[in-house]
Amino acid sequence: MKRTRVKICGFTSAEQATFAAHAGTDAIGLVFYAASPRHVSITAAQEIVAALPAFTSVVALFVDATEEYIRHVIQHVPIDLLQFHGDEPAESCRLYAKPYIKAIRMRTDTDIKALSTEYHDAAGLLLDAYHAGAKGGTGEQFDWDLIPKHCALPIILAGGLGPHNARDAIEHINPYALDVS
């Protein structure tokens, strides 16, 4: 079995992020979505990134952001990977010459194979619970049986993960990574 990586999203201070990185977190997620309680300013993001130890990836999360705003963040914060957590089409995700993850809010009729074709150049598909009033971070788990056994892209599993079910997620899905907030 391969090693499952861990991304923790929603850091708002350098102290939190460096603690997680030193504890073994592979990637730190910074939320650039004003409606989120874990939203981070560019200044705070710069401080967080500057404090991180080497080999810790930095992921910038956006939800239906403008191209101008995304470019502004990329220009001012050293970002390794972009995460699009809204309704962004594949063409929009490809504009930035950076690797990206596309978040998919899972419904019973979600076609992961079709999405892996549409977002064929993504670094992975992040699968999260669908909630009508939220774009993610709800703490709700979706039905993992909706995930196909074989997917052309790495699967990053999100939604309601914690100490109570992380092991089951790894054993049942064998995802590339777990994403927790």
**CATH number of the domain at 5-180, please?**
3.20.20.70
Catalytic residues, by residue number, are 9, 128
Q: Name which of 116, 106, 107 is nearest 151 in CA terms.
A: 116
pLDDT digits (tens, 9 = 90+) for 66-97: 999 999 999 999 999 999 999 999 999 999 99
Q: Tell which residue, 52, 6, 58, has the closest CA to residue 32.
A: 58
* Calpha distance 174→44 (Å, rounded): 34
The two tokens of residue 8 are 């923790």
pLDDT in tens, 117-141: 999 999 999 999 876 666 655 677 8
Is the pLDDT confidence value at 147 over 80? yes
Q: What is the pLDDT of residue 8?
A: 96
Q: What is the model's pTM?
A: 0.93
Where does the pLDDT of residue 2 fall: very low under 50, low under 70, confident under 90, or very high at 90 and above?
Answer: confident
